[in-house]
Amino acid sequence: MNNAVSQNGSSRPRVAVVTGGSGGIGGAVARRLAADGMAVVVHYAGRVAKAEAIVESVTAAGGTAVALPGDVAEPTEMTRLFDAVEERFGGVDVVVNTAGIMLLAPLAEMELEAFDRMHRVNVRGTFVVSQLAARRLRPGGALINFSTSVTRLQQPDYGGYAATKGAVEAMTLILARELRGQDVTVNAVAPGPTATPLFVEGKSEELIARIAAAAPLERLGTPEDIAEGVSFLAGPAGRWINGQVLFSNGGIA
């Protein structure tokens, strides 16, 4: 069965919403799901130019995509986005929550304002979007949230960030059980070090090389590596995977 066909066998195209679709991983996910035949909504918060560039790359490859704005932590704005998607495409089949921020500091030194910012986007934002997904995903649908392999690595400076992603995992695994009978899967992807502009920024070549060498495969992940895992969970081959955290990290954890 092609991913473009709904899981219940109808011929209508499947529709995916990718929050944080203007980012490195989000953009790769949007392109990959579009390549699977889905109509893709590239969500953005402030980077409209990058979101529109993703849309242009999808449409240039023969796919269907549209960019829509919204603050993931604001229910009114995300409800408006879901309403717009349903009006334009008829419904939603896949929701991928890549939107998130990472601020690093030792726990004893982290400003509470920085922790609150991460909590607002990573935890509240995931909660808001997951709640809408739980209410609106069509049968055969999939919700894919984003955690991090740092929840298992216990690296210094990552305490505040890992705490927000631990909350994401807890919500994800419980929601999978709460949606019994709705034919909707709920999983999380937990990337390891991934070569995005955000990851590379501020790091020396020596540090990047050391981080890359930590994985048995001796390289950083790419956004496309992460997108492949999302494609699997969103598609027909992943229908029996539910209530799980997929560690996409090359064996680093």
pLDDT at 11: 65
- Degrees (nearest 5) of the Cα angle 18, 168, 102? 75
The answer to whether residue 8 sits within a structural domain is: no
The answer to whether residue 4 sits within a structural domain is: no
The answer to whether residue 86 sits within a structural domain is: yes
pLDDT at 46: 86
pLDDT at 2: 47
Is residue 158 annotated as a catalytic residue, yes or no?
A: no
The answer to whether residue 253 sits within a structural domain is: no
The answer to whether residue 38 sits within a structural domain is: yes
Q: Considering only CA atoms, give the Rg of the chain.
A: 17
Per-residue pLDDT of the chain (253 residues; tens, 9 = 90+): 345 555 555 567 899 999 999 999 999 999 999 999 999 999 999 889 999 999 999 999 999 999 999 999 999 999 999 999 999 999 999 999 999 999 999 999 999 999 999 999 999 999 999 999 999 999 999 999 999 999 998 889 999 999 999 999 999 999 999 999 999 999 999 999 998 887 887 788 898 998 899 899 999 999 999 999 999 999 999 999 999 999 999 998 6
Q: β-strand 39-44 against 64-69: which pairing, if any? A: parallel
In terms of residue numbers, what domain contains 175? 15-248
Q: Whole-angstrom distance between the N-terminal and C-terminal Cα of the chain?
A: 33
pLDDT at 4: 55
> d(Cα 93, Cα 184) in Å, to the nearest integer?
9
Structural domain total, the chain: 1
> d(Cα 118, Cα 222) in Å, to the nearest integer?
23
pLDDT at 1: 37
The answer to whether residue 223 sits within a structural domain is: yes
Overall pTM > 0.85 = yes
Are the beta carbons of 47 and 245 closer than 8 angstroms?
A: no
The answer to whether residue 1 sits within a structural domain is: no
> d(Cα 41, Cα 75) in Å, to the nearest integer?
18
CATH number for the domain that contains residue 112:
3.40.50.720
Q: DSSP assignment, residue 5? A: B
- Other Cβ atoms closer than 10 A to 76: 10
pLDDT at 9: 54
The answer to whether residue 10 sits within a structural domain is: no
pLDDT at 217: 93
pLDDT at 202: 76
- Degrees (nearest 5) of the Cα angle 114, 112, 77? 55
Marked catalytic residue, from 44, 161, 199, 247: 161
